[in-house]
Structure 1
């Protein structure tokens, strides 16, 4: 209490000196106390209404609590716009990442589907083969003739293939009497079937133990 009383007296004295400098004597101690009743003096100017010029760059001015500058307008709107923008950016990036991942998965699946190897089948539906270029040598006791074996090659892949060589073994009574290797170039497009023929030479003689078959042809 004593400290507050001293501070009030100092304020009154300062106010009186300020009034005397302005040439006004209308401010007395009673009127100034009435002015300060129910309030506190400004901590910056200490109730003088002005501050020393040499302290102009040091003292801080106070802004009233009810000043509109302390109450930003449309805060909720700005916060909502910021949250909405961040949400849109986040989900847009998630969408882009999802699309990229989906595209990679689909591309990998398509590549695997189209470029995975499938069967290449070679088959013939001819049950009877007729000989041609028949040669019979009674002195050496052998018979030689050729047969043409037709084949169908089917490419089930989604890319073309090339057939360059075939090997056919002729077997009689569990005995291989001849093996024919044919070299050629046959291009088979994707998902298609091509025909080709292979000539096979067959010999019946003493060398392969089938001389008895040669006598049949005599």
Structure 2
């Protein structure tokens, strides 16, 4: 057995163990010895937790404290910095990929000019049915749906034709589609009418200013894209007979 001073220090250093020892059996138990402690010059001490009986009360089971030496390798796991760096790198790469694929990109709308036109005259007006082409590019990684097209045709700053059409055109991711639209225009400007019906003039081109708005939706969100173009239309046709 150790000296009284050593036993007192052990009870002060391990108060929970001492409390467990007080709840142990009151019958003195033989000391628990390590191999060789009975040899001459060796010493033997009693476990303060169970007083050598090898058992503790169940209510003190969760109060046991495990003491690990400061130099134990379990407190210094290897490759900690490597694992932390890899975790941070994986998080950054994942976030960058999510932002790259989900970041919305504006749909590109490019007028491709007149495709065909028909001209007619009445006594004072020029009637024009012009079919134009619109190129729509989807740079996103998800499909879009074109839901509405609004067109306004101007000649000499005057509105001569309008179109408002609801449509549903699906465009796949990273795809490009062409869309045709026809606008009926009526020009009542007197000088333009004379130029287009004057046989001595060989060129009968009239400049039209086309303004449009394309509405499309994606991922439950709706956006608009405004475009404009200037087109020359050939208005030559034989004048109406009186």
| Aligned residue number for residue 67 of structure 1 | 42
Report the counterpart of residue 179 of structure 1 in structure 2. 162
Structure 2 unmatched ranges of 5 or more: 4-27, 32-37, 46-67, 198-238
Question: Of Structure 1 and Structure 2, which has the larger fraction of its residues in helix?
Answer: 1
Secondary structure of the corresponding residue to residue 96 of structure 2:
helix
Match of 2:208 in 1: none
Which ranges of structure 1 fall in alignment gaps of 5 or more residues? 1-42, 44-56, 71-77
TM-score by length of 2: 0.48
Q: Distance in 2 between matches of 1:162 and 1:195?
A: 13
Cα deviation, residue 212, structure 1? 3.4
2:115–2:133 CA contact under 8 A, matched in 1: no
Q: Provide the C-alpha distance between the structure 2 equivalents of 1:129 and 1:160, rounded to a whole number of angstroms.
A: 27
| Larger proportion of strand | 2
* Matches of 1:67 and 1:109, distance apart in 2: 67
Alignment of 1:37-186 (within 5 A): 66-67=41-42, 83-88=72-77, 98-126=85-113, 130-132=116-118, 134-138=119-123, 141-186=124-169
Q: How many residue pairs are counted as aligned between the two chains? A: 143
1:125, CA displacement in angstroms? 3.5
2:191 equivalent to 1:212: yes
Helix, strand or coil at the partner of 2:112:
coil
SS at match of 1:157: coil
Q: State the match for 1:202 in structure 2.
A: 185
1:155 to partner: Cα distance: 0.8
What are the superposed Cα offsets for residues 9-30 of structure 1, whole Å, 9 maximum, x if unpaired?
A: xxxxxxxxxxxxxxxxxxxxxx
Secondary structure, aligned partner of 1:194: strand
Q: 1:65 to 1:101 in 2, by over 3 A?
A: farther
| 1:33-89 CA-partner distances (Å, limit 9, x unpaired) | xxxxxxxxxx9xxxxxxxxxxxxx6xx9xx88831769xxxxxxx969x72222227
Q: Report which of the two structures shows the higher radius of gyration computed on alpha carbons.
A: 1
State the alpha-carbon separation in 1 of the partners of residues 158 and 125 from structure 2.
17
CA shift in 2, pair 1:64/1:152, >3 Å: same
* Closer, same or farther: CA 65–85 of 1 in aligned 2, 3 Å: farther
Tell me how far 1:189 sits from its aligned partner.
1.0
- Two-structure CA RMSD over aligned residues (Å): 3.7
Residue aligned with 1:88, SS? coil
CA deviations over 1:91-120 (Å, ceiling 9, x no partner): 55x666554443333222211111111121
SS of equivalent residue, structure 1 residue 109 = helix
Shift of 1:146: 0.6
Aligned equivalents of 1:69, 1:96: Cα separation in 2:
46
TM-score by length of 1: 0.53
SS at match of 1:212: helix
Instruction: Give 1:213 shift.
Output: 2.7
